[in-house]
Amino acid sequence: MTKVIKNGTIVTADRQWKADVLIDGEKIVEIGENLKGDETIDATDAYVIPGGIDPHTHLEMPFMGTTAAETFESGTFAAAAGGTTMLVDFCLPGEDGSLLNAIDAWDKKSKDQICTDISYHMAITGWNENIFEEMEAVVKQRGINTFKHFMAYKGALMVEDDEMFASFKRCAELGALPLVHAENGDIVQAMQEKLLAEGQTGPEAHAYSRPPELEGEAANRAIMIADAAGTPLYIVHVSCEQAHEAIRRARQKGMRVYGEPLIQHLTLDESEYFNKDWQYAARRVMSPPFRNKMHQDSLWAGLSSGSLQVVATDHAAFSDVQKRMGLENFTLIPNGTGGLEERMAMLWTQGVETGRLTPEEFVAATSTNIAKILNIYPQKGGIMVGGDADIVVWDPTITKTISTSTQKSIIEYNVFEGYEVTAQPRYTLSRGDVIWAYGQNSQPQPGRGKFVRRPAFASASKALSKWKSLNTPRKIERNPMNIPSGV
Amino acid sequence: MTKVIKNGTIVTADRQWKADVLIDGEKIVEIGENLKGDETIDATDAYVIPGGIDPHTHLEMPFMGTTAAETFESGTFAAAAGGTTMLVDFCLPGEDGSLLNAIDAWDKKSKDQICTDISYHMAITGWNENIFEEMEAVVKQRGINTFKHFMAYKGALMVEDDEMFASFKRCAELGALPLVHAENGDIVQAMQEKLLAEGQTGPEAHAYSRPPELEGEAANRAIMIADAAGTPLYIVHVSCEQAHEAIRRARQKGMRVYGEPLIQHLTLDESEYFNKDWQYAARRVMSPPFRNKMHQDSLWAGLSSGSLQVVATDHAAFSDVQKRMGLENFTLIPNGTGGLEERMAMLWTQGVETGRLTPEEFVAATSTNIAKILNIYPQKGGIMVGGDADIVVWDPTITKTISTSTQKSIIEYNVFEGYEVTAQPRYTLSRGDVIWAYGQNSQPQPGRGKFVRRPAFASASKALSKWKSLNTPRKIERNPMNIPSGV
Amino acid sequence: MTKVIKNGTIVTADRQWKADVLIDGEKIVEIGENLKGDETIDATDAYVIPGGIDPHTHLEMPFMGTTAAETFESGTFAAAAGGTTMLVDFCLPGEDGSLLNAIDAWDKKSKDQICTDISYHMAITGWNENIFEEMEAVVKQRGINTFKHFMAYKGALMVEDDEMFASFKRCAELGALPLVHAENGDIVQAMQEKLLAEGQTGPEAHAYSRPPELEGEAANRAIMIADAAGTPLYIVHVSCEQAHEAIRRARQKGMRVYGEPLIQHLTLDESEYFNKDWQYAARRVMSPPFRNKMHQDSLWAGLSSGSLQVVATDHAAFSDVQKRMGLENFTLIPNGTGGLEERMAMLWTQGVETGRLTPEEFVAATSTNIAKILNIYPQKGGIMVGGDADIVVWDPTITKTISTSTQKSIIEYNVFEGYEVTAQPRYTLSRGDVIWAYGQNSQPQPGRGKFVRRPAFASASKALSKWKSLNTPRKIERNPMNIPSGV
Amino acid sequence: MTKVIKNGTIVTADRQWKADVLIDGEKIVEIGENLKGDETIDATDAYVIPGGIDPHTHLEMPFMGTTAAETFESGTFAAAAGGTTMLVDFCLPGEDGSLLNAIDAWDKKSKDQICTDISYHMAITGWNENIFEEMEAVVKQRGINTFKHFMAYKGALMVEDDEMFASFKRCAELGALPLVHAENGDIVQAMQEKLLAEGQTGPEAHAYSRPPELEGEAANRAIMIADAAGTPLYIVHVSCEQAHEAIRRARQKGMRVYGEPLIQHLTLDESEYFNKDWQYAARRVMSPPFRNKMHQDSLWAGLSSGSLQVVATDHAAFSDVQKRMGLENFTLIPNGTGGLEERMAMLWTQGVETGRLTPEEFVAATSTNIAKILNIYPQKGGIMVGGDADIVVWDPTITKTISTSTQKSIIEYNVFEGYEVTAQPRYTLSRGDVIWAYGQNSQPQPGRGKFVRRPAFASASKALSKWKSLNTPRKIERNPMNIPSGV
Ligand SMILES: [Zn+2]
Ligand SMILES: [Zn+2]
Ligand SMILES: [Zn+2]
Ligand SMILES: [Zn+2]
Ligand SMILES: [Zn+2]
Ligand SMILES: [Zn+2]
Ligand SMILES: [Zn+2]
Ligand SMILES: [Zn+2]
């Protein structure tokens, strides 16, 4: 059975043009004028864009003594409702430390729930021979080409510099891409202790304990380590000018570093933590925390200039009850906010509608760039014959006020509550299936999503590897006669 | 009649994949596996890439009291032999100052000669009401959406800051893109006088008279003016870190500035001017002059990081006899070097083969990016169904030493003489015609090239215009009662 | 007759220590413990600091069709009341264009009025043989080692780049220091026209017409020209990060560039222009205009890090009646604000009392650094045996609210109105004379001030000159046999 | 008994002037013209400058399994011969970990040997309650206001980030200044292992194992930690642009960070390690290693622009026999080079004689700045009445070729061998005693040197402390009614 998306304006990361899109089964089979199919999806007055890819979610993640409330089902359905057709979740090793077992566990959790396609980043939270070995299987057998490293959450997920170096070097060998959460965990912890000792227990102290300089420092450090190990690097949730500056500085030296701002950091600021309502502030607690307007300007400029490539959400949604674990102590508030459903509409409204971004840049930031980085382009992230029919009919005429009452996320609040957005997905298609139709009471289709395997050795990885091998420092050949015979 | 390019690996700015390309007449009509056509072009073991676009040439340009020796015929044939299927030449107003007449004159010169497609940038070398008016016709009737401004060549082509502002503002209104040659012409002239007064008459003094700081200054100034006028800006022949730094600084503020390094500046350095052979040095005289290695590293990093987008040649080839006009006085040496034929192979060899660039970045820098900037993508600059069949079968197994004896350029030397390159076009196709086949004694086909019309209002131009209009400073409404009644 | 300043804590740019200061006539003759003199000046609980030097004033300056209202008498008395014992006024050539005549005219105006010592910067507002010649006499005969260049005020004071280069080169030869007012006058004018055409006639449009990028551009350009000419450079009224960034960038290349923020830009921001009261806003109109807080942070950091050296006022006070010349057209509002009396107290309060500056840095910024730059240290700018007894007993226990009602300036408003300052001069001594005693009804002593001659070739000028002469580009010696005999 | 230094030109960090200096006992008692004393020291045609202070030496330091060969006697005598009258040595805790015991041990070693005055920096090489407590005694009882932290030498001296933060915070409380050796020790070790595994065992691999990015990273990290802890910071042996850039970036945010390049890094480059003679290369092994010319330019610019303040030597001299410990393995070559005797003459020759530095800046970099930073100015570091008579008669007419055969250092080589210097101390005075007279066969006077106590709370420390206390983040006061009562 075929479907044709008719009368829309296709927007890719490259260009805009009017054309119809013919889908056969899961794939796009033709793009052109006057196409016909068994079914017609109307895209009149709308854009036809690649389905969004959110490369940073934590669904049902065990963390800080609890488990993120958003499930794979509710999360992927919220994603679909917002125009996102694939997400990449972070897979954490369990107590046995095994990477492969962790993937199995994640598969088990996700499999029957997911409404869209997913993939995982594998977290490296320690270092030993077994991890070194398993990494190869993770890449080659499981199709995961990214490894996440936490420079914060000391005593829990954090890894040390030598562990990062070892893992990054392993990534370089395997053609995989290391990711980092960049904050100096030692200093975060010290700041937390200092603040608590001073009686600062409220959610605003969460922000105080993680100033931008700590993030910039860690970004800078990770970049150096990646350069030493000879691998590209991807820095998640770049929230501030300091980290962005470190990225720019690296890139202008020819280093291959990617930066991912979150939609939250682009649009919300630190004053949220100063709200007199504890629950309001606690709901916004995430790491890194929101920053001020100056940082937002920096991030937006990064998206248009190319020093930042991807907009994600770090969706990690905890309920009010969970947030209250930190009522007496901000360090116990589970870190995380939502955004899966709002990412695309918020970025369009505050980016494209203001002229900060072109429509093409919007597509690049929401799907194409990350698809290339993750080495799954153009299966995902494009509108291209042969690619998966992960497509959104993006309607720039639907205006909506974000509200908990209408959201698909299962938590009881929304950090974008009250924000007006000026575009919404009219239809969201995942591999050819309409999984969301605006205003038509779409329902979750758990279990239809698939795990997407991602091959190693993306083009940037190969180029860097070539450069590094041509530029290894050379041994000086010395005449043994000139070398003293020792003592 | 159809042609199929078979068994190659297509490389675009986005990705690489194995597929055949079917051409019908001038256009690409299908991309896929196992395609068949009336004729077969073998791409086994080769890449299939978009034909190169060189956006910066001066063929038969009247300049410094002479006329560039490279003709539209020899230049476009040299281009084809090097894998370049389109070039954009600079059109200079004649004595009557009319833009439209200049275009007519350029058309007359080029029409019967060109072997590949071309377009023009229109030069703005002064400012008056007539130019203001003609600019609209240039854009809307003649299909030229770029205007060049010289900040150097005082007394000849140079424009002042207020003229640039007026012209840039006009560009913003028309959706056209201003280009600048960025060097401070006042100071160049003063430096020239100083050096001559000190007895420095040789070609090395050409370099001394145009240090990097002068280029950086002018780039910085043009950027400010473009920002004030509300238009994107394109800086030609970015040769040094100083200009590149100004571009980066602007981009990280969200300004839309593009930078174009030349293949010469990427690969040749200032020591060329210190050659004991006057003629050797004089042949390398161009503006800006070659710089040192530190600047080269900066430019290469710009290409991979995205702060620089396009590699061009500024091809302006003068014969030895012409160069000798400056035998007693370096300021009389006609400025210009060649490169049309060597650009692609040199960039591949020194960029892709070293791992500085990915193959995709090579394509982006040689065709796709400039096609987007010039708003002719994907008619040009891509391998895409519906696009012009400007295609190169790029053979990375052909090694060749660059030599005047085998070049197509009509001048008697080559600034890359003796350089080894490791790839060459096996075939070059222009709108479906094979205009170059390696080792098969291809001949120029003058007159087959066409002028390519370029529409205004590229996507970046529209976005910036929106941003500027939303961010105009607001008038303070004052109560007339609070305003003193004057004196 | 001798005086001793007893029981104070001396603060210099170098250090703090408790000691008495013995003055004999105009000079400091001894510094030490338990000194005795004919008269005693009590400095108990106070600091003893060098008298302030304000290197940027425009007293009775003819400008924009009127003359600054502050006279040499009222201005120097206000200075004394604020702890400033020397100012450097800008001397503008009259209609005949002669520099020497201008100095005579300035001498005539100032001589009988000045209560403190003064000097002049000579303005270069055009370029010709006569100016070239007179510059030598200005330096050698008149003792003026600084020349001011306006990059703004097109059609009035503005000079072009080639004129600046010529003048800067002349400065280099004479060992004099060029100064610039850095704003791009072409673009300012174009912006003014644009804004007026849009109906923006109010004082806020003054700020809109002179955005920070225009200042940064001009600063950057002046720096390049100074580097090409081989001279240090001093940039007056650095108001924004853009200009400061250009200065830092130059300094980190080893260029010798100085920057002077004004006390106004350090403490007042652009919101002043949005005041609903026209007169309020018009009183604040100066060039460059006030900027936002981000720029203020940049300037403060520059003072503590050493990238900016001097805090001045650009004191150019126009009455309300004068300001009203621009009631219908902001471009006719005379540019200028006051600050001579408030500079020291505002800088102390907002700098030292907040910990942004050390007391030593306060002294450096208010007197010592500029005395060194002007090559009159330690005659002025220090507390040193043999130096002029220009001394302030600085009382950090006097709190005062700045008010027009108590100021010495003759204009009818104060841009710092209502600001609380936490220190005041208890006594101000000029060459040994007490010219201000807090709360003791001091009166102006017009005519007692002297003109201070300043020798050329400051140490930085000599060093730069040596560096430039050792690094001139070298002529390549070529065998005439290798040089073609021409055509 | 009095001495008078006659007919010289005094140069301080501030200025130059002709005057005599009268010394009574250990102190300067008068500066002026035509002074008389019991003895006369001729300074005709010479400069009279403050004795040099080298704040970075390791005499007789136990390190890497051996002990630095330079003794306190030979080291301080070499210093005197080179114009340095005070040095600050690094005191390392012994096996018991006690700071106070370490000082006792250092006193014991140095006391009877030192020919000039000295002081110590105390090293913090771990963290515990005892160290926390002892730090107070170190500062208050022993007069040591600086604590050194090694970010490299993992497994030996290195401290972790949380330890640094704790120690830095303690410094802030005590008004002491933390120092860091900035290199990422984890990555150095990993790089060493990698290189050794690849068969890179020679001294050049020492440089390869410690690239500039590792130093820049650590500098950046230390700066962040100092900012978080609220203390100024001093970074020793800044060898590269990366670390310098981190310092500049911090300073332009108002952070109080000092940087100390070494005379070696200013004048010697990495090609030294490529010498075919193993011993030659091994003698140059130090950390950080020598860098390329680009880094040298950066450092020189830092000295003139003020982003770097102090030139030191890190004098740690190991004999050839000791160096040979690393014959098979570069990581076993004791790290260190000499320079105590050459620092002043090399800096003068390559700095002042080239015009990179003014004579005043030379004095600032060799004594005054560090005296201020160490809070012992003007007892040391100036030519000022009341200050110690640590004075050098600096003769810019003595030209000398540096040679092991004439040096005072006891090791058998000199890294500056063969360099010509154009100035030498004619006389070196330490607290009024002539301890070196050029060409007069001066002999060491061991035991005459004294330990210099340094008070805490330098002016910058107080200012920063004020700023930080005014800018602590504020607790949000929330209505308990708005805070949920928990779960
Ligand atoms: Zn994270
Ligand atoms: Zn996360
Ligand atoms: Zn040009
Ligand atoms: Zn050109
Ligand atoms: Zn001005
Ligand atoms: Zn002024
Ligand atoms: Zn060290
Ligand atoms: Zn050391």
User: Residue with structure tokens 């030109």?
Assistant: D9
Ligand nearest, relative to CA of residue C210 = 5
Cα-Cα-Cα-Cα torsion A219, A225, A230, A232, nearest 10 degrees, comes to -20
Tell me the chain A residues in contact with residue B469 when contact means C-beta distances shorter than 8 Å.
355
Q: How far apart are CA D233 and CA D72, in angstroms?
A: 27
For residue B348, the 8-state DSSP code is I
Determine the average pLDDT of the residues in B299-323. 97
Q: Is residue D316 over pLDDT 60?
A: yes
Q: Is the peptide bond before C50 cis (omega within 30 degrees of 0)?
A: no
C252 contacts D248? CB cut-off 8 A: yes
Q: What is the Å distance from ligand 1's center to A339 Cα? A: 14
| Mutation for B interface: C273, C475, C482, most B CBs within 10 A | C475
Q: Which ligand is nearest to the CA of D121?
A: 8
**Beta-carbon neighbours within 5 Å of ion ligand 4:** B 314
Q: How far is the CA of A97 from the centre of ligand 2 (A)?
A: 19
- Give residue B337's domain range: 50-422+443-465
pLDDT score of B487 more than 80 = no
- Note whether A221 contacts D217, CB cutoff 8 Å: yes
Distance between CA D106 and CA D115 in Å, rounded?
15
On whether the CB atoms of residues C408 and C438 are closer than 8 A, the answer is no
> Per the domain annotation, does B12 fall within a domain?
no
Q: Where are the beta strands (DSSP E) in C64-186?
A: 66-67, 84-91, 117-124, 146-150, 177-181
Measured between alpha carbons, how far is B98 from B124 in angstroms, rounded to an integer? Answer: 10
* Chain A neighbors of B256, CB-CB under 8 A: 304
Does C15 reside within a domain? no
Number of domains in chain A: 1
Test the C interface: residue of D9, D11, D14, D21 with most C CBs within 10 Å: D14
Q: What is the mean pLDDT of chain C?
A: 97
pLDDT tens digits, C211-234? 999 999 999 999 999 999 999 999
Quote the ligand 4 centre to B213 CA distance (angstroms). Answer: 19
| Residue of chain A with shortest Cα separation from B247 | A305
Residue partners of C443: CB distance under 8 A and separation at least 6: none
Instruction: Please name the member of C190, C204, C249 whose beta carbon is closest to the beta carbon of B476.
Output: C204
Chains that touch D (3 or more CB pairs under 8 A): A, C
Q: Which chains touch A (3 or more CB pairs under 8 A)?
A: B, D
Residues B158-189 pLDDT 10s: 999 999 999 999 999 999 999 999 999 999 99
Inter-chain touch D221–A216, beta carbons under 8 Å: no
* CB–CB contact A305 B252 (8 Å): yes
Q: How far is the centre of ligand 7, averaged over its atoms, from the C-alpha of B221 (Å)?
A: 44
- Specify if A209 maps to a domain: yes
Interchain CB contacts (distance < 8 Å): A and B: 122
- On whether residue A5 sits in a domain, the answer given is no
- Position D299 scores a pLDDT of 98
Q: Are strands D84-91 and D117-124 parallel, antiparallel or unpaired?
A: parallel
Helices B459-470 + B161-174 axis angle, to 10: 110
Q: Give the closest of A15, A353, A459 to B359, CB-based.
A: A459
Q: What is the mean pLDDT of chain B?
A: 97
Contacting residues of B for A14, CB less than 8 Å apart: 13-14, 372, 377-378, 382
Residue in C213, C277, C281 nearest the CB of B227: C213
Query: For residue D61, how far is its CA from the centre of ligand 8 (angstroms)?
Result: 10
Q: Do the beta carbons of residue C91 and residue C145 sit within 8 Å?
A: no
The pLDDT value given to residue C487: 43
Per-residue pLDDT tens over the stretch B80-109: 999 999 999 999 999 999 999 999 999 999
- D314 C-alpha to center of ligand 8: Å? 5
Residue from D240, D252, D467 whose CB has the most chain C CBs within 10 Å, to mutate: D252
User: Ligand 4 centroid vs B292 CA: distance in angstroms?
Assistant: 20
pLDDT along chain A (487 residues), means of 10: 97 98 98 97 98 98 90 98 98 97 98 98 98 98 98 96 98 98 98 97 98 98 98 98 98 98 98 96 98 97 98 96 96 96 98 98 98 98 97 98 96 97 98 98 97 98 98 90 62
Question: What are the contacts of A124-128 at 24+ separation with CB within 8 A?
Answer: A124/A148, A124/A149, A124/A159, A124/A163, A124/A167, A125/A92, A125/A93, A125/A150, A125/A156, A125/A157, A125/A158, A125/A159, A126/A93, A126/A97, A126/A159, A126/A163, A127/A159, A127/A162, A127/A163, A127/A166, A127/A167, A128/A97
| Domain assignment present for B323 | yes
User: At residue B481, does pLDDT exceed 70?
Assistant: no
Count how many pairs of residues, chain A against chain D, have C-beta atoms within 8 Å: 147
Q: From the CA of C240, how many Å to the nearest CA of chain D?
A: 13
Chain B residues whose CB is inside 8 A of the A377 CB are 14-15
pLDDT in tens, D212-248: 999 999 999 999 999 999 999 999 999 999 999 999 9
Of D186, D211, D478, Cβ closest to residue A276: D478
Q: Tell me if C301 and D466 make a contact (CB, 8 A cut-off).
A: no
| Interatomic CA distance for residues D416 and D339, integer angstroms | 8
Residue A178 CA, ligand 5 centroid: distance in Å: 52
Q: Answer yes or no: is B80 within a domain.
A: yes
Residue D483 has pLDDT above 80, yes or no: no
Measured distance CA(A121)–CA(A157) in Å, rounded = 14
pLDDT at C482: 67
Judged against a pLDDT cut of 80, whether residue C485 lies above it is answered with: no
Confirm whether A154 is domain-assigned.
yes
Nearest to D202 by CA among D321, D330, D325: D330
Q: Could you give the CA distance from residue B311 to residue B265 in angstroms, rounded to a whole number?
A: 10
**B330 within a domain of the structure (yes/no):** yes
Which of B17, B22, B30, B29 has its CA nearest to residue B6? B22
Calculate how close chain B gets to C200, using CA atoms only, in Å. 6
pLDDT at B485: 58
pLDDT of the residue at C479:
80
Q: Is C76 helix (H, G, I), strand (E, B) or coil?
A: helix
Residue B444 has pLDDT above 80, yes or no: yes
Which one, of C211, C210, C295, C312, lies nearest residue C259 by Cα? C312
Percent of chain B, pLDDT > 90?
Answer: 97
Q: Summarize pLDDT for D431-461 with one digit per residue, the tens.
A: 999 999 999 999 999 999 999 999 999 999 9
pLDDT at D201 over 90: yes
What is the per-residue pLDDT for A487?
43
CA distance A164 to chain D (A): 10
pLDDT surpasses 60 at C7: yes
Evaluate if residue C446 carries a pLDDT over 90. yes
Query: How many angstroms separate the CA of residue B485 from the nearest CA in chain C?
Result: 9
What confidence tens digit (pLDDT) does each residue in D33-80 have? 999 999 999 999 999 999 999 999 999 999 888 999 999 999 999 999
CATH code of A125's domain: 3.20.20.140
